[in-house]
Structure 1
């Protein structure tokens, strides 16, 4: 089978991408508006970009009415955000925050998700997240026009909060303790505890 992405509809292209680019890490993004209203939403088009400078990105799709995600709107107003990493234990509350709420209504308050103050940015972090990256906006790049387009947000990592409970005896992250989840296609997720090791050639 060969797929001509130049001939596929946007919906079909999206379906093939999310079912094959797997597993995708999840950025649980917390932001704050200029009016001081907090927002919390998950994004699976998310990745680290580079370590010098330490930079990551997430991408928010524009909805069918041409409206940007609340997270993107907020970052445009207050150019800071927190990327909270999602373990298996937080899968359900993370999923709840994907619920479409009126702009300005806080997912932290709506779904009873405890927050903690950040050190260097204004948006709060998820208190129970095992890792949280405080970021300052670097730039937003828009792809596509109108509905189904996307706003790619790049952020400079200013600091990270790491729960000691997910560290191994060597002081580094223990993947089994971190127990992150990844997004597959549709409503499917994967739990990243089944590991194997391949030594990289030198």
Structure 2
């Protein structure tokens, strides 16, 4: 059984994080490891993961259900799934209305474990989570018509919903930011957290 844990912070309120993560087609759909994802029914999804290594391409089809239990969301494979897979999200709202997220992902895939190993699985899980958060924030901003809101950019990364203040990490750039007062994106990816809160009322 492959297993990896990720801890991240999202510069958005808990309620909206829960709502976005509850849809695996949105949260898992933008990863380079996700070949296809489709809804099969209420709370039920089919996800096909794709790996390429040593010149070999392999596909892993997972059928899963998404469930919410208070501030916890669970993606869990169903009995008909070809592979056992789960992602457990524990969310906690902290100071300034940010949300801390702990993700534990497990997968039992037989020969895949020998093929990709723990190191590759770590990269797979972290990419799923980070691309999921990036898409979640952008999708939310689109609904509120907040994309490219560069007003207030002088506040720096701390005022952007695509920034993880605990890790000093930019989800849009996919890397740690040296000086959050001088955004490396120069406002290209900036989405104002203040304007988001105003739009929510």
TM range (shorter): under 0.3
Normalization by structure 2: what TM-score?
A: 0.27
Normalization by structure 1: what TM-score?
A: 0.27
